[in-house]
Amino acid sequence: MSSHLVRLRERNQLTLPAEYAEKLGVEPGSLLELILGMELDGVHVEVRHAKVVRANTRQAKVSEQRARKDIQEGRFSTFANPDELALHMKQTRDAEAEQLRAQVEELQEQMQGILLNMRRVGAATGVVLADVPCNLSTKA
């Protein structure tokens, strides 16, 4: 993470420092996407290199052809109405969240194991690990 102060000029114009432009892979004429985020600790603006894909480009057509092939070969789901689609999307999101939770818990268990080993080594060598938290669990 690095920060850089820039001064806003007339008509809200600012200059993107060269280092930032290089890191983003942009040059004059590139399209940038500004994403406004409202967080508890204030307003954030994220700048990203926008990739333009228009209708009838090769990339769009490839995706369309893939979808057509999926349909022809039976790789699709059918929903009778938007509510069914909404339910499917919600279930998919819930499953992703559950998977993520399981991964976090697994990582926490691994960390607990590492901490336990560190304490054992500490006890054997006389090194005190005072700053290491006793419990990494995020559960209430």
Residues that bind other proteins (CB under 8 A): 33, 35, 37, 50-56, 59-60, 63-64, 66-68, 70-71, 75-82, 84-86, 88-89, 93
Which 8-state DSSP code applies to residue 89?
H
Smaller CB separation from other proteins, 51 or 139:
51
Smaller CB separation from other proteins, 9 or 51:
51
Write down the least CB distance from residue 55 to other proteins, Å.
Answer: 5
Write down the least CB distance from residue 64 to other proteins, Å.
Answer: 5
**What phi and psi, each to the nearest 5 degrees, are found at residue 111?**
-65, -40
Write down the least CB distance from residue 59 to other proteins, Å.
Answer: 8
| Count of all residues that appear for the chain in the document | 140
CB 49 within 8 A of CB 26: yes
Spatial neighbors of 133 by CB under 8 A, at least 6 apart, are 115
Write down the least CB distance from residue 123 to other proteins, Å.
Answer: 43
CA distance 64 to 66: 5
Smaller CB separation from other proteins, 74 or 133:
74
**What phi and psi, each to the nearest 5 degrees, are found at residue 51?**
-105, 125
Smaller CB separation from other proteins, 15 or 57:
57
Residue 44's beta-bridge partner residues?
37
